[in-house]
Amino acid sequence: MIRLLSMGTDGVAEGRARSRQKRVGEALRQETRIRLLDAAAEEFAARGYAGTTVARIAAAAGVSVQTLYLAWGSKRELLRGCMEHALAGGAASPEDAADRFEGMAPRERLAALAALVAEIAGRAATGWGLYRDAAAVDPEIAADWDELQSLRHRLFARILADVPEGDLAEGLTRSAAVDSAWAIASPESYDLLGRRLDYDLERFRDWMERTLVAALLVPGEA
């Protein structure tokens, strides 16, 4: 009986030890993924997608190339990880980002949308440029870029879903309003104004807000 109790106690202890080892292992793997993500972001920004190699990323993160492949799978997945990290900001998902607009009046909603896009542009502008450049030479990245653009369109549809039809500009359907907002508040707009004409984020946000209000709402709509 004493031996059986001892064996049972030993089994519990072993189970706890394995559980601790598992938690430590998961924490180390997550730390490695983050180190690789940070290293990749720096390498991509400095060298572009085509000029960055997995060997350079691994060396910058202080790990082996094999570890990089185990953690992320490929350079393409690291690029997507960098982009998703930049886009997410404080929101865990697009749904969380859309939730912040609940209860807002139409003009207030567009001002908040302009502020959100400008905030994201501050984090993701480099990633947008990298994706556009890489999409020209990598069909899988081109597909990722299309998916991210579609995700942005769906997010805008959610944000504008409960704007009353009567508050939209004359002759503008809700579907056309979503398309217009998607085009105005876009990475392409930031590339033209922010990167080519040197608009700072505040000026870009103000331009977006004015343009969205003029394009989407009836004059004088609060």
In this predicted structure, the answer to whether residue 92 has a pLDDT above a threshold of 50 is no
Let me know whether 87 and 187 are in one domain.
yes
Please give the pLDDT value at position 3. Answer: 60
Q: What is the pTM for the complete model shown?
A: 0.74
Please give the pLDDT value at position 133. Answer: 85
For tokens 């997410």, name the residue: 88
Pick from 136, 99, 133: nearest CA to 116: 99
Angstrom distance (rounded) from CA 28 to CA 2: 39
Domain termination residue (choose one: 47, 73, 99) = 73
In a domain, 99, yes or no: yes
Q: How many structural domains is the chain composed of?
A: 2
Please give the pLDDT value at position 73. Answer: 94
Please give the pLDDT value at position 173. Answer: 95
Please give the pLDDT value at position 161. Answer: 92
How far apart are the two ends of the chain, measured CA to CA in Å? Answer: 80
Let me know whether 40 and 132 are in one domain.
no
Let me know whether 96 and 55 are in one domain.
no
Let me know whether 56 and 124 are in one domain.
no
Least confident interval from 7-16, 120-129, 191-200: 7-16
Tokens, residue 80: 């997507």
Let me know whether 138 and 166 are in one domain.
yes
Q: Does 100 or 156 have the greater pLDDT score?
A: 156
In a domain, 202, yes or no: yes
Domain termination residue (choose one: 23, 53, 73) = 73
In a domain, 94, yes or no: yes
Kindly report, residue by residue over 104-124, the tens digit of the pLDDT: 999 999 999 999 999 888 888
Let me know whether 135 and 199 are in one domain.
yes
Let me know whether 104 and 65 are in one domain.
no
Percentage, residues of the chain above pLDDT 90: 57
In a domain, 221, yes or no: no
Least confident interval from 81-90, 123-132, 165-174: 81-90
In a domain, 222, yes or no: no
Angstrom distance (rounded) from CA 37 to CA 85: 9
Please give the pLDDT value at position 100. Answer: 83
Kindly report, residue by residue over 46-68, the tens digit of the pLDDT: 999 989 999 999 999 999 999 99
| Domain around 170 | 81-216
| Angle, vertex CA 33, rays to CA 27 and CA 35, nearest 5 | 100
CATH code: domain of residue 9? 1.10.10.60
In a domain, 86, yes or no: yes
In a domain, 183, yes or no: yes
Let me know whether 109 and 193 are in one domain.
yes
In this predicted structure, the answer to whether residue 190 has a pLDDT above a threshold of 50 is yes
Let me know whether 110 and 165 are in one domain.
yes
Q: In sequence order, which residues have a C-beta less than 8 Å from that of residue 208 and are 6 or more positions away? A: 113, 114, 117, 118, 184, 185, 189
Domain termination residue (choose one: 54, 73, 92) = 73
Residue type (1 letter), 26: E
Q: In sequence order, which residues have a C-beta less than 8 Å from that of residue 213 and are 6 or more positions away? A: 107, 110, 221
Angstrom distance (rounded) from CA 96 to CA 18: 36
In a domain, 134, yes or no: yes
Neighbour-count burial for 90-105, b at 16+ CB within 10 Å, e otherwise = eeeebeebbeebeebe
Per-residue three-class SS string for the chain: CHHHHHHHHHHHHHHHHHHHHHHHHHHHHHHHHHHHHHHHHHHHHHHHHHHCCHHHHHHHHCCCHHHHHHHHCCHHHHHHHHHHHHHHCCCCCHHHHHHCCCCCCHHHHHHHHHHHHHHHHHHHHHHHHHHHHHHCCCHHHHHHHHHHHHHHHHHHHHHHCCCCHHHECCCCCHHHHHHHHHHHCCHHHHHHHHHHCCCCHHHHHHHHHHHHHHHHECCCCC
Please give the pLDDT value at position 195. Answer: 86
Kindly report, residue by residue over 137-187, the tens digit of the pLDDT: 889 999 988 988 898 899 999 999 989 999 999 999 999 999 999 999 999
Please give the pLDDT value at position 1. Answer: 60
Let me know whether 50 and 149 are in one domain.
no
Let me know whether 60 and 91 are in one domain.
no
Let me know whether 55 and 10 are in one domain.
yes
